[in-house]
Amino acid sequence: MSLLTFRFRQSPAVDFYWNLELAKRGSLREFKVHPNITIYESAFDLFNPIHVGHALSLAKALVLDKRAEVLSGNTSLTMTTVRDVLECYQQSMQVEDYHAHCWFKIRLTFDLAVTRIEVESDDSGKSFVFPCRCAATHAYGIHYEHPGTIYAQLDSALWRAGTRWCPRLEDLSEIKLVNVELQTKR
């Protein structure tokens, strides 16, 4: 999950050579699929802060290229989502404790239509820590009356937002421990 791969074609566009220079900052591979068609593939390790910056630069450069694709494992992602998540991930790497940047407390309500995002919890409702700033807008509908578990709903919200591939979300066991702690404090 920590490897992000960008794939793009050779093109006569003016910015192609700039994209190629950015791609060389990762591990670049070149494939000739036809005498006139060359595909470039560049992989970046997201646990390396320098690679995160280079991947973000390449994502920003390729966002207008309709034929470019980005993959995390076998999952195809949209370039704009990757750009947004990488910006957020890079910011989380610059703070001492990434939890302060990434984690939100949401108040779980029994009304299916209303889930409010709150920074501070209050004792009137049950709180749940949501682990992703980028996906916070997709936290709607997480509630105790849902037939799925809270963690299945959390995972679903992260997939809906397209942020589940973020390295900060690779292991959700820490978030489960925090939420169990929140429930036992009440």
Domains and CATH numbers, the chain: 3-93 (3.30.70), 98-185 (no CATH)
CA pair distance 101, 124, nearest whole angstrom: 25
Q: Are 171 and 7 in contact (CB under 8 A)?
A: no
Confidence check: pLDDT of 120 > 60: no
Mean pLDDT of 68-83: 92
Q: In this predicted model, which residue has the larger pLDDT, 140 or 72?
A: 72
Mean pLDDT of 172-180: 83
CA pair distance 33, 24, nearest whole angstrom: 20
Q: Which residue has the tokens 């407390």?
A: 105
> Which SS3 state, helix, strand or coil, does residue 127 take?
strand
Q: Which of 93, 2, 95 is nearest to 46 (CA)?
A: 2
Confidence check: pLDDT of 122 > 70: no
Q: Are 145 and 181 in contact (CB under 8 A)?
A: no
Confidence check: pLDDT of 29 > 90: yes
**Contacts made by residues 113-122, CB under 8 angstroms, sequence distance 24+:** 115/139, 115/140, 115/141, 115/142, 115/143, 121/182
Question: How high is the pLDDT of residue 142?
Answer: 78
Q: How many CA atoms lie within 13 A of 97 on its CB side?
A: 3
